[in-house]
Amino acid sequence: MPAKRLRLTRVHVFTLTALMLVLPAAANAQTGRVTLQATVSETVALSVLPNFSSGDVDADVISSGNTVRITLSSSGAKGAVVIRVPLLVRSNSSFKLLASVDPAAVITQLSVLNVRATGELVSPQAVNGLNVPQQFDSRGRDENAFSSLDLSQPLLVLSGPRVSLGGMPNSPNNALQINLLIRLRQQPGHGSPIHLTFAATAGPPIQ
């Protein structure tokens, strides 16, 4: 007798579980479709090409998530300095790029020289949809023609649409490469490094 009650209990549990699984499916079947909803966080990652060369100054580059910090120090040379920085942007949303310099007085130029897609996982709109304010845009122009800048506060250098169609934060074929030219008035002084910071954030492009 106890064994019979045990078998009945198992049947009841199985029946209840089956009903819990079937009822939602039946409700969806009445509408003829199943709707799945999910939210993906907006992500922007910033880095520098590994073969970046800082020319006549010593540079220490730290990339962390959406920020790149470049510390420039004296290498013993004299005079003005020109540095070309190949920034890599990966994003699953539109983005903005800001720049700041400390101390700000040492920089005389920050220009976007050109941009390119690094591979097939870059959105076709990433290059053509890039928006660069005129004061920072040297694409197709003389790179020596530039306006004076005040980067004591972060300035918006450019913005653009979604870059990456897939891949990982270190994939070689899903980034937008933005080549920047930075002109310093003088070499960093001994013991007085220059800190150049780029930060990318998710957000609608500027018009």
Question: Is 29 part of a structural domain of the chain?
Answer: no
Q: Supply the range of the domain harboring residue 159.
A: 44-202
Question: Is 16 part of a structural domain of the chain?
Answer: no
Question: Is 86 part of a structural domain of the chain?
Answer: yes
Q: Are 139 and 145 in contact (CB under 8 A)?
A: no
Q: How far is CA 2 from CA 6, 9, 143, 185, in A?
A: 6, 11, 91, 93
Determine the pLDDT at residue 90: 97
Query: Quick one: which H or E segment has residue 72?
Result: strand 67-73
Cα 45 to chain centroid distance, Å, stands at: 3
Determine the number of helices (DSSP H) and then strands (DSSP E) in the chain: 2, 9
Question: Is 156 part of a structural domain of the chain?
Answer: yes
Determine the pLDDT at residue 104: 75
3-state secondary structure of 98: strand
Question: Is 107 part of a structural domain of the chain?
Answer: yes
Question: Is 58 part of a structural domain of the chain?
Answer: yes
Nearest to 198 by CA among 53, 95, 50: 95
Question: Is 20 part of a structural domain of the chain?
Answer: no
Q: 107-117 and 58-64 as β-strands: parallel, antiparallel, unpaired? A: unpaired
What's the structural domain count of the chain? 1
Q: How far is CA 131 from CA 28, 59, 69, 199, 201, in A?
A: 45, 28, 23, 16, 15
Question: Is 164 part of a structural domain of the chain?
Answer: yes
* CB-CB neighbours of 196 under 10 Å: 25
pTM: 0.76
Sequence-distant (6+) residues with CB within 8 A of 129 are: 160, 161, 205
Q: How far apart are CA 101 and CA 199, in angstroms?
A: 12
Q: What is the CA radius of gyration of the chain?
A: 27
Determine the pLDDT at residue 17: 39
List the pLDDT tens digit at each of the 207 positions of the chain.
444 443 434 444 333 333 333 344 444 445 556 555 445 688 999 999 988 877 778 889 999 999 999 998 876 667 778 889 999 999 999 999 999 988 877 788 899 999 999 999 999 999 999 999 988 999 887 777 666 677 778 899 999 999 999 999 889 999 999 999 998 877 777 668 889 999 999 987 655
